[in-house]
């Protein structure tokens, strides 16, 4: 009876040991197998039997990971700028053991973030503050190339980089706003000057036209034919208003309408 009990216990322990010897490496990872605590080999996703007494496995993420970091820098004209940078990276799957030995799994904090902060400073200092917005793509490409090369030395693959935002100091922003306002006011003043000049030109042209008309009338008034024409026009206007009745009494030298006759 006692022997059966011992055998059962041994069998139970054996089953536990066998069960604990199987490990699963998930998709999107690689299994870093440790033998007696030392990184020994890398295995693909799948189901594995390991020696429960000497071996263990740790999943290492090999997918593309996004990390965002904030970096401050000085521009070539001594302005302070803060940039928000996003980097997509992954580990070099062929160098997982080397990466782990050097950084464990802390390569994001020890490689990527410091690279972002240092390369942002190195690149931004080559540009004046007012160039950064205009040359954003150029600046992004320079930072990306520098970080990519630097990370590759640590067996990290940088796939992409984006400058998601950047901002200047409050004093610089205030100066920019003041400059924009001044430019807008100068443009308005210039437009007003053009408008005023145009209005003045119009008034001069109108005055010239009126003066010319007055001169023409004055010249015409000296012409007997013009005087005669005006008299006819006056009689026509009078005729338009006449009711068709001749005056009953004509006194003194009053003219008879339309006959230009005196009594």
Instruction: Indicate whether 73 and 148 sit together in one domain.
Output: yes
Q: What is the pLDDT along the chain (263 residues), one digit of tens a residue?
A: 555 566 554 444 444 444 456 788 889 999 999 999 899 999 999 888 888 888 889 999 999 999 999 999 989 988 889 999 999 999 999 999 999 999 999 999 999 999 999 999 999 999 998 898 899 999 999 999 999 999 999 999 999 999 999 888 766 655 555 555 556 666 666 776 677 777 777 776 777 776 676 667 666 666 676 666 666 666 666 666 666 665 555 555 555 555 554 44
pTM (2 decimals)?
A: 0.60
Sheet with 156-168: strands ordered across: 65-74, 80-91, 156-168
- What is the pLDDT at residue 261? 46
The span from the CA of 115 to the CA of 113, in Å, is 5
Claim to verify: residue 78 and residue 120 sit in the same structural domain: yes
Same domain, 163 and 176: no
Q: What is the pLDDT of residue 205?
A: 74
Q: Residues 201, 246: one domain?
A: no
Torsions phi, psi for 247 (to 5 deg): -65, 140
Counts of helices then strands in the chain (DSSP H, E): 8, 10
On whether both 86 and 110 belong to a single domain, the answer is yes
User: Hey, what are 115's tokens?
Assistant: 């690279």
User: Does residue 149 form part of some domain?
Assistant: yes
**Residues 176, 164: one domain?**
no
On whether both 164 and 98 belong to a single domain, the answer is: yes
| Residue 32 near residue 96, CB atoms below 8 Å | yes
Q: Has residue 8 been placed in a domain? A: no
Q: Are residues 71 and 162 in the same domain?
A: yes
Residue at a domain's end among 26, 61, 96: 61
Cα(145)–Cα(87) distance, rounded to whole angstroms? 12
What is the structure's pLDDT at 206? 79
Measured distance CA(30)–CA(91) in Å, rounded: 11
39 plus 91 within the same structural domain: no
Range of the domain at 45: 18-61
Whether residue 205 sits in one domain with residue 192: yes
Cross-strand bridge partners of residue 22: 49
Contact (Cβ atoms closer than 8 angstroms) between residue 29 and residue 46: no
The structure tokens listed for 39 are 């990184």
Q: What is the pLDDT of residue 18?
A: 46
Q: Do 79 and 161 sit in the same domain of this protein?
A: yes
Q: How far apart are CA 162 and CA 139, in angstroms?
A: 10
Calculate the alpha carbon distances from 129 to 70, 73, 78, 126, 179 in Å: 18, 11, 8, 10, 14
Number of domains in the chain: 4
């Amino acid at each position: 009876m006692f022997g059966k009990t011992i055998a059962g216990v041994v069998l139970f322990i054996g089953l536990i040991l066998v069960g604990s010897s199987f490990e699963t490496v998930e998709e999107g990872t690689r299994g870093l197998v440790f033998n007696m605590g030392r990184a020994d080999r890398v295995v693909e996703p799948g189901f594995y039997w390991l020696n429960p007494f000497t071996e263990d496995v740790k999943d290492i993420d090999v997918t593309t990971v996004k990390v965002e970091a904030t970096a401050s820098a000085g521009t070539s004209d001594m302005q302070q700028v803060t940039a928000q940078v996003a980097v997509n990276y992954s580990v070099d799957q062929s160098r997982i053991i080397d990466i782990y030995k050097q950084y464990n799994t802390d390569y994001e904090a020890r490689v990527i973030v410091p690279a972002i902060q240092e390369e942002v400073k190195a690149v931004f200092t080559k540009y004046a503050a007012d160039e950064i917005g205009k040359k954003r793509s150029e600046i992004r490409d320079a930072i990306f190339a520098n970080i990519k090369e630097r990370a590759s030395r640590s067996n990290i693959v940088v796939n992409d980089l984006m400058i998601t935002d950047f901002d200047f100091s409050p004093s610089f922003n205030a100066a920019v706003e003041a400059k924009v306002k001044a430019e807008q006011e100068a443009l308005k003043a210039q437009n007003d000057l053009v408008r005023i000049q145009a209005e003045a030109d119009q008034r001069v042209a109108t005055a010239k036209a009126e003066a010319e008309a007055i001169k023409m009338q004055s010249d015409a008034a000296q012409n007997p034919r013009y005087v005669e024409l005006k008299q006819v026009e006056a009689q026509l206007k009078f005729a338009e208003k006449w009711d068709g009745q001749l005056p009953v009494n004509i006194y003194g030298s009053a003219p008879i309408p339309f006959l230009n006759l005196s009594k």
